[in-house]
Amino acid sequence: MNKLFVSLMLFIFSSVFTVTTLAESGGFVGPMKDNITTVKEALDAEDDTQVTLTGYITSSLGDEKYHFKDDTGEMVVDIDDDDWNGLKVTPETKVIIQGEVDMDGTNIKIDVDTIDAAAQ
């Protein structure tokens, strides 16, 4: 009886662990409804609007903030140190950032969730 109970508990634990692991490791990657794709659009968007911007990080402003530009304009983006995932970027590196508009009074920036090098 004890072996059956232990086996059942191990089965339940492993099932819960597998479901939890799958839920935390994936998600949809692709186009989003009404996704903003330019700095110009982002500067006119509402707070928390999703964005996917392609352009260049031209300089560091300190405190995880960077100057970003594309063909339509320039703005500040906030990239947490742990979101770089080892990516090395220079002002000549074209990148794709995904995140959301963050409005603090009159200050508008992008709170970046992911950053990747763009295909050249």
Q: How confident is the model at residue 19 (pLDDT cuts 50, 70, 90)?
A: very low
In one letter, which amino acid is 5?
F
Which residues, listed in sequence order, are joined to residue 114 by a DSSP beta bridge? 98
Question: What SS3 class is residue 53?
Answer: strand
CA angle centred on 87, ends 85 and 88, rounded to 5°: 145
46: pLDDT strictly greater than 80: yes
- 15 CB contacts (<8 Å, ≥6 apart)? none
The pLDDT assigned to 106 comes to 84
- Bigger pLDDT: 12 vs 70: 70
Mean pLDDT of the chain: 84
pTM greater than the 0.75 cutoff = no
23: pLDDT strictly greater than 60: no
Pairing of strands 107-117, 73-78: parallel
Pairing of strands 50-62, 94-104: antiparallel
Question: What SS3 class is residue 84?
Answer: coil
Residue with tokens 């074209």: 94
